[in-house]
Amino acid sequence: MIDNILRDIAEILLPEKNTCLVCSYKAPYIQKSYICMYCESLLSRLEGVLCVKCSKPMEHDSDLCGECVKIEKAFDKSLALFEYRDKTKALINDFKYHNKSYLYKMFGYQMVKFLKDTGVTNIKAVVPVPIHQSKELKRGYNQSELLASYISFNLGLPMLKLVKRNRDTTPQSRLEGYARWNNMAGAFDIREGLPVPDKILLVDDIYTTGATVNECSKVLKQNGAEEIICLAIAR
Ligand SMILES: [Zn+2]
Ligand SMILES: [Zn+2]
């Protein structure tokens, strides 16, 4: 009885529960995943042989990709759920650029499930990759922070905004390859006054070249972090 009343109240307060946030289909099995089976099947999981450091798909069975052999990265591991193409790409673009901030619930649910399935443990804090203040004011939100707060709430970990962006940068999408690494150099600083835990989950939306999470990781490690696991929706 009381359960039914609570469920009815929850339905009123959370009308989108059991609704696919992508296509608006409603079904009881959807619950708080916010995605229907059909839409989920359109997201292409990152699978096969992946670089143990950066999760780049590889044709041949080996531990590290060519780039991770050549360039030493400041993070310990970078994980991603999906390939950044097709429906996944369109949804991330909606999430970032077309005001669909609510998609953080759908992506966040997938990220938490992925972390549990992957068995990433002993994380002490969830840290979002910051965007420049001017961009956040214009957009109204930082998409990585929405994801990080969802993950921190659902895993019972603190979210610490430890990194700040000290200058705006040319959008990485307009640059090629190594120019992206130079573009991000020195773009971040530590936010003073917060404790830096030893093991951190660093959350970003997309992993492109890894230059952004690499620079954030450098700053975090210079200030006491020992292990950094990066997590992106896609790469
Ligand atoms: Zn759907
Ligand atoms: Zn790699």
Handedness of CA 56, 52, 213, 98 (dihedral sign): positive
Confidence grade of residue 181 (pLDDT, cut at 50, 70, 90) = confident
Of all ligands present, the nearest one to the C-alpha of 22 is: 1
In single-letter form, the type of residue at position 147 comes to: L
pLDDT band at 17 (very low <50, low <70, confident <90, very high): confident
Lowest mean pLDDT among 29-43, 68-82, 179-193: 179-193
Closest ligand to Cα 40: 1
Ligand 2: centre distance to CA 48 (Å): 14
Q: At what angle do helices 104-118 and 143-155 cross, to 10 degrees?
A: 50
* Sign of torsion over alpha carbons 64, 69, 75, 80: negative
Per-residue pLDDT tens over the stretch 59-113 = 888 899 999 999 999 999 999 999 999 999 999 999 999 999 999 999 999 999 9
Residue extents of the structural domains in the chain: 1-41, 43-234
CATH of 43-234, one of 1.20.1050, 3.40.50, 3.30.420, 3.30.70: 3.40.50
Count of H helices and E strands in the chain?
A: 9, 6
pTM of the model: 0.91
Confidence of residue 13 (pLDDT cuts 50, 70, 90): low
Q: Which ligand is nearest to the CA of 49?
A: 2
Q: What is the mean pLDDT of residues 156-171?
A: 89
What protein residues have CB closer than 5 angstroms to ion ligand 1? 20, 22-23, 25, 36, 39
Task: Please say if the pLDDT value at position 7 is more than 60.
Answer: no
User: How many Å lie between the centroid of ligand 1 and the Cα of residue 147?
Assistant: 20
C-alpha 26 to ligand 2 mean position (Å):
40
CA separation for the pair 175, 157 (Å, rounded): 35
pLDDT at 29 over 80: yes
Rounded to whole angstroms, how far apart are CA atoms 230 and 72? 15
Q: Which residues surround ligand 2, an ion (CB under 5 A)?
A: 51, 53-54, 56, 65, 68
Centre of ligand 1 from the C-alpha of residue 108, in Å: 16
Q: In what order do the strands lie in the sheet with 227-234?
A: 77-82, 227-234, 199-206, 125-128
CB 171 within 8 A of CB 212: no
